[in-house]
């Protein structure tokens, strides 16, 4: 298996058929079909389901597609960085949807002060970014607790409280006892934290919707359904919504700057220094 086969596989998958894939690749269909057959034989799996000339991926195909995307991105980054060695350098940064408002000003400032830096931003959830870090697809990530940090070093950027966001009027602030009156929209990864805090106070929150992305929660609430629980850094994304802080010393998360323990990427220190110019950091 080589990069060319992975590229062919990705193009065919995106195109939905071998014929359309061949057109996009400017090659004839038979040799492309042979390449995919050889790839399936080498791996010993079926990658495509063929139905009325339309291709869809099997479970094995979906796994390979995810890895193919990462490997092709990493190849392109390696080529670009090698060509631009000594002139332009690329920093691959992972950011979650809830930390994007916090980090964008820092990245903008770093770009203004360090013209040799280019960014590749990977926008995903914490668990996906943690996996990309462990496989060295990205060099540094801004993650939010709870998260496993095995093999990683981290710096606490800030600790954040939670707030409610709703299309309806809210009090100036709410206690845990008052929060249970609202049908809540929450992140799946915060479910255990939220439930444990409320359970400690012998309270049972009304969970209307559990989702994996802050943007989904925002759209849900903007539609007039439920009241979202967000960390403080999401306030700037809540335009046209009513917000109210939750009064609790327990319902908090930490935003961490995370990178592999064994070796820092050359540009990692520059990003850390840029963050240190804005925040007081401590290692963990």
Asked if residue 58 has pLDDT above 70, the reply is: yes
- 193 and 146 in one domain? no
- 189 and 59 in one domain? no
Asked if residue 283 has pLDDT above 50, the reply is: no
What is the arithmetic mean of pLDDT over 252-262?
Answer: 86
Q: What is the CATH number of the domain that holds 21?
A: 1.10.10.10
What is the arithmetic mean of pLDDT over 184-194?
Answer: 89
- 247 and 173 in one domain? yes
Which of 231, 207, 230, 204 is CA-nearest to residue 218?
230
Distance separating alpha carbons of residues 145 and 233, to the nearest angstrom = 14
Tally of domains within the chain: 3
Among residues 37, 53, 69, which one ends one of the domains?
69
- 168 and 86 in one domain? no
Q: What is the CATH number of the domain that holds 192?
A: 3.40.190.10
Residues 6+ apart with CB under 8 A from 108: none
| Maximal CA-CA distance, the chain | 67
Asked if residue 188 has pLDDT above 60, the reply is: yes
Distance separating alpha carbons of residues 277 and 114, to the nearest angstrom = 14
- 152 and 109 in one domain? yes
Asked if residue 43 has pLDDT above 80, the reply is: yes
What pLDDT shows up at residue 74? 82
What is the domain range of residue 219? 160-252
**Please, where are the H alpha helices in 84-225?**
100-113, 126-134, 176-179, 191-200, 214-222
Q: Give me 7's structure tokens.
A: 């590229």
- 96 and 24 in one domain? no
Higher pLDDT pick, 58 / 214 = 58
Among residues 69, 85, 118, which one ends one of the domains?
69
- 141 and 105 in one domain? yes
The fraction of the chain above a pLDDT of 70, given in percent, is 93
Task: For residue 108, give the DSSP letter.
Answer: H
- For 29, list phi and psi in degrees, rounded to 5: -70, -40
- 220 and 85 in one domain? no
Among residues 48, 69, 90, which one ends one of the domains?
69
- 259 and 246 in one domain? no
- 228 and 107 in one domain? no
């Amino acid at each position: 298996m080589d990069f060319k086969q992975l590229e062919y596989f990705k193009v065919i998958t995106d195109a939905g058929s071998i014929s359309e894939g061949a057109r996009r690749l400017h090659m004839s269909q038979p040799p492309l079909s042979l390449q995919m057959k050889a790839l399936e034989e080498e791996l010993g799996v079926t990658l495509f389901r063929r139905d009325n000339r339309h291709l869809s991926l099997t479970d094995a195909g979906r796994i390979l597609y995810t890895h193919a995307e990462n490997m092709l991105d990493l190849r392109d980054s390696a080529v670009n960085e090698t060509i631009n060695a000594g002139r332009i350098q690329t920093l691959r940064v992972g950011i979650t949807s809830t930390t994007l408002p916090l980090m964008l000003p820092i990245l903008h400032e770093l770009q203004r002060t360090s013209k040799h830096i280019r960014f590749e931003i990977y926008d995903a959830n914490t668990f996906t970014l943690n996996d990309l870090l462990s496989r060295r697809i990205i060099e540094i990530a801004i993650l939010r607790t709870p998260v496993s940090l095995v093999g990683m070093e981290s710096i606490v950027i800030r600790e954040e409280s939670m707030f409610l966001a709703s299309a309806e009027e809210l009090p100036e602030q709410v206690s845990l006892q008052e929060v249970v009156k609202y049908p809540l929209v929450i992140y799946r990864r915060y479910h255990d934290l939220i439930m444990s805090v409320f359970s400690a106070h012998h309270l049972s929150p009304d969970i209307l919707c559990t989702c994996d992305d802050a943007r989904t929660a925002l759209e849900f609430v903007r539609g007039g359904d439920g009241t979202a629980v967000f960390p403080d850094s999401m306030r700037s994304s809540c335009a046209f919504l009513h917000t109210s802080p939750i009064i609790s010393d327990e319902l908090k998360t930490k935003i961490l700057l995370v990178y592999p323990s064994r070796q820092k990427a050359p540009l990692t220190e520059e990003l850390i220094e840029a963050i240190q110019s804005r925040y007081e950091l401590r290692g963990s």
